[in-house]
Amino acid sequence: MRKEAHLVALWGLVLRAVVLALVLAALIAGPRAGWGWAAGLIGAGLVVYAVARRPGRGDFTYAAASAIVIPDLLGFALAGLFAAFPVWATPDLGSGALHPSAWLMWPMALLSTSLLFIAWRSESFALRLTPEALEMTRGVACWHVPYAEISEVGPWRRDLPRWMRAVVPFLLASGRYGPAGAVMLARERRGIALRVRGHPDLIIETDSLHPAGSKLLKALSQRGIPGLPLSPARSGARAPAS
């Protein structure tokens, strides 16, 4: 297996930083500069995002709407609103004292930017099956894995530790709604583990994978790689209608 740098994917992070800056500027300045101006600036940011986005291209990628665009839009909206609210609530910005809600809202804004990172990771993902090897890009890394080095493939699952879900009531009781909400919304992650001889397992998450993970397993089995079948729920495929 060979791993190389894939620095082209950094463009996706730069793009999201630019769009987020435009959204923040529009929302923070909106009450004073006018909401028409703010709406125009947000619209310009979304146009830049739509035109300049560069999704990965391969035999298998992640669905644009569910894995990339929706998390990005949620990240822009939540980060912008949480960052702007303390400014809106401050009657006199010239005094230098922000509204106390900044202590709660700004960490939540920072946490919301994780949605942009997740969307970028999904956008940068592309998996190609060449005649001799599997080639996968994700983030700033690119893997070249000859089929002969893959011993087997099988299901992979990961969830939060049980103790983290058990502390949710205590987080709510103490007023820490942001961390409590993040834990409550977190869901089990499913995917495929490629066991590569002499290297750590290579994990491919199958939620929102297009085509579905079951098709990837089938394609690998056709190349002589043994593996375990995935259920419809694990593969990302829809169950047949009754």
Query: What confidence tens digit (pLDDT) does each residue in 68-113 have?
Result: 999 999 999 999 999 998 888 877 665 667 777 888 888 889 988 9
**Residue 60: strand pairing partners:** 127
| pLDDT attached to residue 87 | 84
Burial of 216 (0-12, 13-18, 19+ CB in 10 A): buried
Q: Report if pTM > 0.85.
A: no
* Predicted local confidence at residue 31, as pLDDT: 79
pLDDT at site 237: 37
Residue 234: its pLDDT value, please? 40
Q: How far is CA 197 from the centre of its chain?
A: 29
pLDDT for residue 236: 39
Q: What residues in the chain have per-residue pLDDT under 70?
A: 92-96, 158-188, 228-242
Determine the pLDDT at residue 239.
32
Burial class, 164, CB count within 10 angstroms (exposed 0-12 / middle 13-18 / buried 19+): middle
What is the residue type of 121?
A: R
Which residue, chain included where needed, has tokens 């702007």? 84
Identify the pLDDT of residue 167: 63
Outline where the chain has alpha helix (H): 10-33, 35-52, 64, 70-88, 102-112, 114-124, 162-166, 168-173, 177-185, 213-221, 232-235
